[in-house]
Structure formats: structure tokens, C-alpha cells
Amino acid sequence: MTAKISLEEKFRETGGKRPYVQRLFGRIARVYDPMNRLMSLGLDRRWRAFAARYLALGTGELGLDLGAGTADLSIAVIRRCGPGTRMIGLDITPQMLEVGRTKIARLGLQDAIELRVGDAEHIDLPDNSVDGCCLAFTVRNLTDIRQGFREMLRVVRPGGRVVCLEISHPPGKIFGSLFHFYFYKLAPLFGTIIGKAFEEYNYLPNSLTTFPDAPTLQTIMEEVGWRDARFYRLSGGIVAVHVGTKA
């Protein structure tokens, strides 16, 4: 409860959750990628590859990556789907996108991935304009989860998928306790020592305290209109990949 009140107070101080998240990720943009590798013990690349496989874009199709950040998920999709597939990546934090653009240029993927400043809850794209939508570690940062999934449903063409990779609540007491200790105690410590960003890496675990578990998130997706909604727990349930299809 203390963590929840503390976060709510911080949101109020900065004018709401959205500006708080935007400022927070702007401050850690340069260390975001190496911290991801460290905190996930290198598993985050496998998780993104799994999500890219379930997005299942075909040659010549267009995908949307929400909360694209430094573009790791967009890159995973392009690497899996190959030539002709394109991605649009939206994020509210320009500093994260700048890191992503540098990475994309280094990999020679400028023609395949376009990064734009944009809001996942108010997507600046027409109805039925993309073949699939994906997001990684973004849903926890939304102000209104249902609004986000409604917007995804609006812009995806009929028959297209949404694929959501997110940190979750591991089932089971023993593994759940180990995860709790690592995520809530060690992760902020790593952030302080390596990234010099205690507040930022204290926010990340505390944002999970009020976040729905995997079955509840599946229900939310179904309630806003996604069909065949399901989830896959990875790495003992540390993360879950949610998949839904537009009817």
C-alpha cells in the first residue's frame, strides 16, 4: 500500500502518470538496454523473439509497436519476418526513440522501421490501418489499460493480432517469493549502482503492485473486444505474452 500511495503522490506532483513516465524513461534512455540485459539475465531477447513469432506478420505487411522505446521489439519482428515487412514504432519519450534510431541506423533497418513520438492510448493512425500490433513492457505504464487495448483494436485490421509482452505475477509460493525478492529488492539496487537511477528502477517493480495478473489481463482484452485471447507464461511466469485477434 505504501508503494501505491507513493507512486500516486509522484504522479500528482508531475501532473499525472503520463508525464511522470515520460520524464522517467527520458532520464534512463541511455542505460535502458544494458539494464534490460542485466536485470533479465539476458532473457529479454528470447521473450521478444517469442512475441515476434506470435505476431506472425507476413511479407509486405505493416506492424505497429506501441511503447517502442529503443526499438528492440520492432527489430525482433523485422528479423523474423524478413524483407518487405515494415514497422511503425510509437513512444511518448523522444530520448528513447533517439537511442532506437541510432540502433536502427547501425543495423541498416531505416527502410523497415519508422519511429515516431506517439501515445498508445490515443494512436494517431486511421481505423484498420495496420496488420498487427505489439508492445513490450508498455501496458503497466498506461494510464487506462482498457483504453489502450480499445485503441489497438481500432487500428488493427480484421484478422490481425495484438501481442503484448509484459512482466507478470509468477504463480507458486516459492518461485513467486524468489521473484519478489529479486524484482523488488535487487532490481532497484542494480539501478542505483549501475544506472545511478534509484527512483526509476524503484518505479518499475512498484508499478507491478497494482497491475493485473495474467488471467485478469486476458479478461480485460476480451471485454474490450479481442477474440481468442490467451496468454503464455515464460520463464516460470516472470513474464507473460498475451495474444488476441480482431474478429
Task: Please tell me the pTM assigned to this model.
Answer: 0.89
pLDDT value of residue 2 = 44
Question: Is residue 199, in this structure, part of any structural domain at all?
Answer: no
User: Does a structural domain hold residue 179?
Assistant: no
Whether 181 and 67 have beta carbons less than 8 Å apart is answered as no
- Can you give the pLDDT at residue 115? 98
Tell me, what's the pLDDT at 103? 97
| Structural domain span for residue 114 | 2-169+207-245
Return the pLDDT at 210: 79
Check residue 1 and give its pLDDT: 41
Report the number of distinct structural domains present in the chain: 1
| 91 falls within a domain | yes
What is the reported pLDDT for 12? 83
> What pLDDT was estimated at residue 193?
56
- Give the CATH number, domain containing residue 85: 3.40.50.150
pLDDT in tens, 50-73: 999 999 999 999 999 999 999 999
User: Looking at residue 136, what is its pLDDT?
Assistant: 97
Task: Identify whether 191 is part of a domain.
Answer: no
Does some domain include residue 237? yes
Q: Per the domain annotation, does 188 fall within a domain?
A: no
Q: List the chain residues with pLDDT less than 50.
A: 1-5
Residue 202 in domain? no
Report pLDDT for 231: 98
